[in-house]
Amino acid sequence: MIFNDVRLEAIGATIPDEIWSSDLIERKLAPLYQRLKLPEGRLALMSGIDERRVWPPGTVPSGPSIASGRQAIAAADIDPGRIGCLIHASVCRDFLEPATASRVHHELGLPAKCWVYDVSNACLGLINGAVQIAGLIQSGAIEAGIVVGTENSRPLLQGTIDALNADTTVTRKTVKPAFASLTIGSGSCAWLLTHASISKSQTRLDAGIAIANTRHHDLCRSDDDTAGAGMMPLMETDSERLMREGIATGTAALEELLGETGWSRERIDRTVCHQVGGKHRSEMLASMRLPLERDAITFPFLGNTGSVALPLTLAAAAQHDQITRGDKVTLLGIGSGINSVMMAATWGATPVRSNLPAAISAGTAPAV
């Protein structure tokens, strides 16, 4: 899909204050570690993730999403009455129904004549939502729209820790499917897209593509619906196969994106990928034949924040001058299912309003 008239006008981002380091999680897992004689430092060493953040107990996703949406609207200095679509696109949501987007739409004061709904596609929700809004803008149906989401990792982290400590049958081999759950972090991000005719930032969204490889739909799944903030979900992940098949799917998707845009690899100034961990990043970029030094990351500080991982990393890169005017940027999304959604952008001057600290610089990091 080629977009001639779509601009990424502003980004709003919000992250929690409470930090759970990998060392802290291992201390919480002391009964398991002692029983299996696991070495301390294993979690950070295997993932490259030093810390992740969690929302306060009882937080519902719409709350931080409202904050991020307000940040994006303020950064764009746009009349909310011009916004014709609001998509809430994270895995986490307030309830099974109504759509979490309903409360966010109300609190942001958006007009009644507005598309309002939820989208969920594992770690691809926000980028999927961005493509949908871009299509509405390109068609002339709306002149502006917001995609926003919030991931809440506290219930999954705590549920996984409790389950592993309580299950005395767990072995070094059977603990592996739970490992990915311990890398998950919390965060919130909103992208505000507009038609070129009303854009001040002039960051052009050039194209979007999707590739499905759904024969591997069973490699990562939760055994419960994780909609409610009070639920304590568990998740099983075949991390090695998921990484291998996800990288293959993403590599094929990049070829599709390059073909759609006519760009070469050498023309790409900055890559922003879904944030999983050090090993995934190094092997993925090697398979795609893209250099590590052009890639932006946040996973050492935020962990894997699901659908907002890529959007938050773009926010950090833009806020801390890792992307400059004229840069060719590729947004390389890969999610369980397996699906890949990617976008290409030519950067202008998109403003970012967030509470991202300077330490989260979206810079480069060594491979793990």
pLDDT confidence of residue 316: 96
Residue written as tokens 């219930």? 155
CA nearest 82: which of 131, 8, 145, 148?
Answer: 145
Ordered by where they begin, the domains of the chain are 18-181 (3.40.47.10), 203-349 (3.40.47.10)
Residues recognised as catalytic: 97, 123
In sequence order, the β-bridge partners of residue 272 are: 296, 331
**DSSP assignment string, 164-205:** HHH-TT--TTTTHHHHGGGGB--EEEEEEEEEGGG-SS--EE
pLDDT confidence of residue 227: 42
pLDDT confidence of residue 218: 60
CB atoms within 10 A of CB 234: 18
pLDDT in tens, the chain (368 residues): 899 999 999 999 999 999 999 999 999 999 999 999 999 999 999 899 999 999 999 999 999 999 999 999 999 999 999 999 999 999 999 998 999 999 999 999 999 999 999 999 989 999 999 999 999 999 999 999 999 999 999 999 999 999 999 999 999 988 888 888 999 999 999 999 999 999 999 999 999 999 998 775 665 555 554 444 444 445 555 667 767 787 988 899 999 999 999 999 999 999 999 999 888 899 999 999 999 999 999 999 999 999 999 999 999 999 999 999 999 999 999 987 789 999 999 999 999 999 999 878 665 444 43
Please give the Cα distance from 54 to 59 (Å, whole number). 10
Please give the Cα distance from 314 to 354 (Å, whole number). 12
Residue written as tokens 């590599």? 251
In angstroms, the Cα distances linking 154 to 175, 190, 342 are 19, 21, 28
CA nearest 288: which of 336, 334, 255?
Answer: 255
Reported in sequence order, the residue ranges of the chain that DSSP labels E, i.e. its strands, are 6-14, 18-21, 51-54, 85-88, 115-118, 144-151, 187-195, 204-212, 220-222, 235-237, 270-273, 295-296, 328-335, 339-346, 352-354
